[in-house]
Amino acid sequence: MEELRGTERLAATFAALKGEGKRAFIAYVTAGDPDLETTRELVLTLERKGASIIELGVPFSDPVADGPVIQEAAGRALAAGTTLPKVLETVRQLRRETSIPIVLLTYYNPVLRFGLSRFAREAAACGVDGVIVADLPAEEGDGLRQPLDESGLALIPLAAPTSTPERIRLIAEKARGFIYCVSLLGVTGMRADLPPDAAALLERVRAMTDVPLALGFGISTAEHAAIVAPQCDGVIVGSAIVKLIAKNLDNRPQMLDEVGAFAQALAAAVG
């Protein structure tokens, strides 16, 4: 596994889990919240406690797909001086300690300003494996997908309950790594109940592709994760983890303990 990188590392991770009858627990944290050293420790803690893939959010000033919990995390990260180059450098440092797949979740504007080809090259050089661009439709993704493909990185598309069959077919054709299935309409955030449309969306996407499907948005508890896991290849949990980080901003050891315990419960539920 250690010699694989990028799209290949993601594919190998899903294949290995499938071979064991398991699914991926994909843990999200906002890079730089409250600082990048804490992010490094959180990533290593999440891996030790059972996360299969790490999703690192690149803080952005206009995170239209995110709810209040992750918006506030982005605000804290930006206030601490977190930038895209610093996030990439953090991934580079993490690669000295871990080979867990790392996916960046970002918006298109920071990547465009950085330069599409330069972003792909530097992300690959730092050890990033895939990229999710929350506001980049599959129809408009070729400009970024090409340099990412050339660098061996996955551009991971999103499918939503409102996606038409034609759009899901296009998403399936363009997908690399996995498809991020958005369980509900609206923004990220914790919900008391599971979205009713999630199973139908997974069925519609699965009918068109064998690419792994990961379900996110609104999955807030281990109980939620246990219910949806049998329907997909991976479960993404973000806001509930970020809320634990926010709760313990003044006590890093307690933050790591609480995030680790929650991650362990989620990993067991997804497994």
Options 33, 55, 122, 233, the catalytic residue: 55
CA triple 37-38-43, angle to 5 deg: 100
Is 203 labeled as catalytic in the residue annotation? no
Options 2, 20, 37, 66, the catalytic residue: 66
- Residue 161 tokens read as 């309950």
Is 3 labeled as catalytic in the residue annotation? no
User: Do the Cβ atoms of 213 and 182 come closer than 8 Å?
Assistant: no
- DSSP letters spanning 36-74: HHHHHHHHHHHHHTT-SEEEEE---S--TT--HHHHHHH
User: Do the Cβ atoms of 67 and 30 come closer than 8 Å?
Assistant: no
- Long-range contacts of residues 6-9, Cβ cutoff 8 Å, at least 24 apart: 6/124, 6/128, 6/129, 6/130, 6/151, 6/152, 6/153, 6/154, 7/129, 7/130, 7/152, 7/153, 7/154, 7/176, 7/177, 8/152, 9/99, 9/101, 9/129
For residue 90, what are the CA distances in angstroms to 55, 58, 97, 252?
13, 11, 11, 18
Active-site residue numbers?
55, 66
